[in-house]
Amino acid sequence: MHLLRITVELMIGFIALFSVTKILGKATLSQITAFDFISAIVLGEFVGNALYDKAIGILTILYTVVIWGVMIYIVEWITQKYRGSRAFLEGKPTIIIRNGRMDREAMKKEKLDINMLQNLLRHKDVFSVREVDFAILETDGTVSVLKKSKYDVPKNEDLQQPQKPVYLPVNIINDGEADYQNMKRAGLNEEWLMKELKRHHIDRIQDVFYAEWKKDEGLYLEKKE
């Protein structure tokens, strides 16, 4: 009975937390501010404590999650309705490199040392501070980088190259399973897929680890080891 109670409460807690995240929207998940981080910890703590406390029932879990979710929703609504509240509740971006020079006061204010800055820049494929003209520390802790012109990748217009259309890749096989819905949206079918696999000396979809298709480049795949 003890294991059954934990199982039921865990499932209900999972569904409740999942519902809250769906209601709050994808933007909240992709841009985790300090407030969102605290909210995630508190919600997880609510459900975690409830699982092992016999005095706390299912209704208490649901009530707690719903109330906290409503509070988060209200804060999100306030930030959307009143622009002046965003800096306080969500924070605001900080320029940490300006005109090629590190702003030490801004870095000190954000508790950011040079090693941390270098780590964040490497995530943007920047391996030297000298390459950076401007760097902005975003509210979710990532860095946006504007390189100096001599280090920036040249664009087609810089090289006076004609513009070409851009196509998104379509995932059609993932770990040995074909995604027929994606294929249908791309105007493809199973007969076409099998012909393409034959060209790569593959007889079964199950032998493909990953495959994607782009209109301008065709099929790309990796076999299972």
Which of 36-50, 83-97, 161-175, 200-214 is least confident?
36-50
Dihedral sign of CA atoms 32, 36, 42, 44 in order: negative
Separation of alpha carbons 222 and 78, rounded Å = 48
Whether the predicted pLDDT of 183 surpasses 70: yes
**Higher model confidence: residue 32 or residue 225?**
225
Sequence ranges of the domains in the chain: 2-85, 94-147, 170-223
- The answer to whether the beta carbons of residues 97 and 135 sit under 8 Å apart is yes
Structure confidence by residue, pLDDT tens digits, 141-168: 789 999 998 887 777 677 777 777 878 8
Whether the predicted pLDDT of 28 surpasses 60: no
| Fold agreement between 94-147 and 170-223 | yes
> CA-CA-CA-CA torsion for 141, 25, 44, 119, nearest 10 degrees?
-20
Q: Which residues of 77-108 are buried (b: 16+ CB within 10 A; e: fewer)?
A: eebeeeeeeeeeebbeebebbeeeebbeebbe
CATH fold of 94-147 reads CRO Repressor (3.30.240)
Would you state the structure tokens that stand for residue 98, as one six-digit string?
């300006």
% of the chain with per-residue pLDDT over 70:
71
Structure confidence by residue, pLDDT tens digits, 69-97: 777 778 778 877 776 766 666 667 899 99
pTM (2 d.p.): 0.56
- In the chain, where does DSSP find H-type helix? 2-24, 26-30, 34-52, 58-81, 86-90, 104-109, 114-122, 180-185, 190-199
User: Tokens 């870095």 correspond to what residue?
Assistant: 107
CATH architecture of residue range(s) 170-223: 2-Layer Sandwich (3.30)
